[in-house]
Amino acid sequence: MVKNFLRDSNSDGRWRAGRFVFIAVGLLSSVFPIVSWAQNRSGDDELAAQATDPTASLMSFQLNDWYTANFHGNDDSANQAVFRAAIPFALGDSRHIFRITQPYFTSSPSGATGFADTTIFDLMVFNQPWGRWGVGLSGTLPTGQDGLTTGKWTLGPAVGFVNSSDKQINWGLFAQTFFSFAGASSAPDVGLINLQPIFSYQLGGGRSLSLGNSALVYDTEKARWTSLNLGVNYGQVVTFAGHKWRPNVEADYDFRDVVGNPKWTIRAGIVLLLPTH
């Protein structure tokens, strides 16, 4: 959420962050062929499809490293560790999926490090013969440290759908909105519409390609698109220690050429999948 950093990055921090990411990518790439023989193909393919679907009622916990190699207009970099949890629950007859995302910057162009703002959503989901759709609320909490926060509480409607009628291909759209309603009076108001295109292709054996963290972000306060981020994510569901995991790697590029926007971002992560049925 925080786009405007001061431009005085630490080159040693940038090197350490980059080295960590590429080591993680190499390790993840080597894991895929080693464990692929142990897969239950039909079950793992279904888990792989759900793991890339924000409307799926799948409990998961993930830890990621997101390394931004450069920004439009300068060669600074940033690195963040990101924890994300998705927790399905029921209220009476309604089924919900609650998700929380908490970034922690280990380096940034401004030199600021620490927690950034927390992002959450609660989606009430409805299964259909063709897939599912959901409606709910999204928002952010100003939990970030100085230089890594908007300073505002935000809330807005969220809606999405995923068509899974073809077992090999999932496609859909997930929209979240963030409008400030409280917070520091000195902080500028926030008005964002985040459109996440959803597409995943099942390669078999629990392997899948998806659009990952692709997002198109429109700023209603500035009346312009602030991010046009598109990426490709590759992952594989594997069995380890009696649990299902999805190690994955991703490369993103933000086509919105505005000074301060990320250019290339490399993401590596591991997701613990806990299906309830």
Average pLDDT rounded to a whole number, residues 80-103: 97
CA-based nearest residue to 4, from 67, 74, 106, 58: 74
Per-chain mean pLDDT for the chain:
88
What angle is formed at CA 177 by the lines to CA 73 and CA 51, rounded to 5 degrees?
Answer: 85
pLDDT at residue 155, rounded to an integer: 98
Q: Whats the size of the chain, residue-wise?
A: 277
Structure confidence at residue 276 (pLDDT): 78
How far apart, in Å, do the first and last CA atoms of the chain sit?
A: 35
Position 17 pLDDT exceeds 90: no
- 211-267 pLDDT, tens digit per residue, is 999 999 999 999 999 999 999 999 999 999 999 999 999 999 999 999 999 999 999
Contact 3, 226 (CB under 8 A): yes
Task: Say which residues have a Cβ less than 8 Å from residue 204's Cβ, sequence separation at least 6.
Answer: 41, 45
- Tell me the three state secondary structure of residue 118: strand
Between CA 135 and CA 128 the distance in angstroms is: 14
- State yes or no: pLDDT of 207 exceeds 60: yes
Residue 36 pLDDT = 39
- Residue 15, pLDDT > 90, answer no
Report the pLDDT averaged over residues 157-181. 96
Q: Is the pLDDT of residue 23 over 70?
A: no
Q: Is the pLDDT of residue 3 over 50?
A: no
Q: Which band of pLDDT confidence, cut at 50, 70 and 90, is reported for residue 43? A: confident
pLDDT confidence band for 38 (50 / 70 / 90): very low
Note whether 48 and 169 are within 8 A (CB).
no
Report how far residue 215's alpha carbon sits from residue 211's, in angstroms, rounded to the nearest whole number.
9
Which domains can be identified in the chain, with CATH numbers?
11-274 (2.40.160.40)
3-state DSSP assignment of residue 214:
coil
Q: Is the pLDDT of residue 1 over 70?
A: no
SS3 (DSSP) at 203: strand
pTM: 0.85
| pLDDT recorded at residue 180 | 98
Mean pLDDT value across residues 35-47? 62
Q: Do residues 78 and 69 touch, judged by C-beta distance below 8 A?
A: no
Across residues 141-162, what is the average pLDDT? 97
167 in the Ramachandran plot: left (φ > 0), alpha (ψ -120 to 50) or beta? alpha
Cα dihedral 48, 49, 51, 52, rounded to 10, equals: 120
